[in-house]
């Protein structure tokens, strides 16, 4: 049953996206896309391979808030047939404090986990530099599995759960499918990454070249960033729709 469940939800998500793309895409672009674009356009060029310090880092806050808002709104649209964009956005704004709480809990748990792994590896290998390098690899594996277990947290927030309840219930409900869901998330991330690279190499390079030909290379580079950012936003939308439909199936079985 768990094996067929993920496949069935995948087919349902594909059909839902094909049918409701006109409803979902604007929400994804004005939350995920616009938030990421605001941040990316503020990031300065690296100096000697390092990003300079500055106020640009504060643009991560609107990026995070718009991402949380979009995650709840798209989850709500997927889980509630007939829900309008306006209703989803209004209710998502009301849920935003709980979404912020959920995000802070996830960030704190991730920070604690990375610190513990770093301490253990430093004690084991005796070198802080080597331990830091190994920590990134080990933490990435932990983060993927952790992401699969909390994949339903935003759909559950959209259904009225609290910050802690959404995380604990997501952890419990994904237990039967945790390994296959982890593999699915890895595959989705890899394919999404490949698509973004191909877009950057094709359309992005063409826009940069066009900008150089007309003497406006910086504009061409910014346009390339817009294309890849909006493509990333649509991929995030697709993953959220899948998680929301999976949550709806699992809640119906309760």
pLDDT digits (tens, 9 = 90+) for 182-209: 999 999 999 999 998 888 888 767 777 7
- Model pLDDT, residue 33: 92
What predicted TM-score, i.e. pTM, was given to this entire model?
0.87
Q: Cα 117 from chain centroid?
A: 24
Q: What are the DSSP E strand ranges found in 70-197? A: none
With H, G, I as helix, E, B as strand and everything else as coil, classify residue 205.
helix
Domain that holds residue 72: 2-253
User: Residues, the chain, total?
Assistant: 254
Cβ atoms within 10 Å of 179's Cβ, excluding its own: 11
Residue 1 confidence (pLDDT) above 60: no
pLDDT digits (tens, 9 = 90+) for 203-254: 767 777 777 777 766 666 777 778 888 999 999 999 999 999 999 999 887 6
- Total domains present in the chain: 1
In angstroms, rounded to a whole number, what is the distance separating the alpha carbons of residues 70 and 103? 13
CB 218 within 8 A of CB 211: yes
Q: How many helices (H) and strands (E) does the chain have?
A: 10, 0
Q: Which residue has the tokens 């880092």?
A: 57
Q: What are phi and psi of 146, to 5 degrees?
A: -65, -40
Task: Name residues whose C-beta falls within 8 Å of residue 134's C-beta, 6 or more positions apart in sequence.
Answer: 121, 125
pLDDT-derived band at 128 (thresholds 50, 70, 90) equals: low
Task: Name residues whose C-beta falls within 8 Å of residue 193's C-beta, 6 or more positions apart in sequence.
Answer: none
pLDDT-derived band at 68 (thresholds 50, 70, 90) equals: very high
Q: Which residue has the tokens 């959220």?
A: 240
If you ran DSSP here, which 8-state letter would residue 171 be given?
H
Q: Which of 139, 85, 79 is nearest to 113 (CA)?
A: 139
């Amino acid at each position: 049953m768990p094996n067929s469940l993920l496949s069935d939800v995948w087919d349902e998500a594909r059909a839902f996206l094909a049918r409701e793309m006109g409803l979902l895409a604007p929400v994804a672009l004005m939350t995920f896309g616009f938030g990421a674009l605001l941040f990316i356009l503020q990031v300065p060029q690296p100096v000697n391979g390092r990003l300079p310090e500055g106020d640009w880092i504060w643009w991560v806050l609107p990026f995070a808030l718009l991402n949380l808002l979009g995650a709840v709104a798209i989850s709500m649209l997927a889980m509630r047939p007939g829900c309008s964009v306006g209703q989803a956005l209004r209710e998502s704004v009301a849920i935003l404090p709980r979404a912020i709480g959920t995000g802070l809990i996830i960030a704190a748990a991730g920070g604690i986990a990375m610190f513990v792994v770093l301490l253990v590896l430093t004690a084991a290998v005796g070198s802080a530099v080597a331990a830091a390098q190994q920590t990134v690899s080990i933490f990435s594996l932990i983060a993927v599995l952790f992401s699969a277990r909390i994949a339903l947290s935003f759909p559950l927030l959209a259904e009225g759960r609290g910050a802690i309840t959404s995380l604990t219930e997501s952890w419990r409900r994904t237990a039967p499918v945790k390994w296959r869901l982890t593999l699915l998330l890895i595959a989705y991330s890899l394919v999404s990454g490949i698509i973004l690279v191909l877009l950057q190499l094709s359309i992005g390079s063409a826009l940069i070249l066009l900008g150089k030909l007309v003497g406006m290379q910086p504009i061409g580079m910014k346009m390339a960033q817009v294309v890849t950012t909006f493509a990333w936003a649509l991929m995030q939308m697709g993953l959220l729709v899948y998680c929301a439909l999976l949550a709806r199936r699992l809640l119906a079985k309760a």
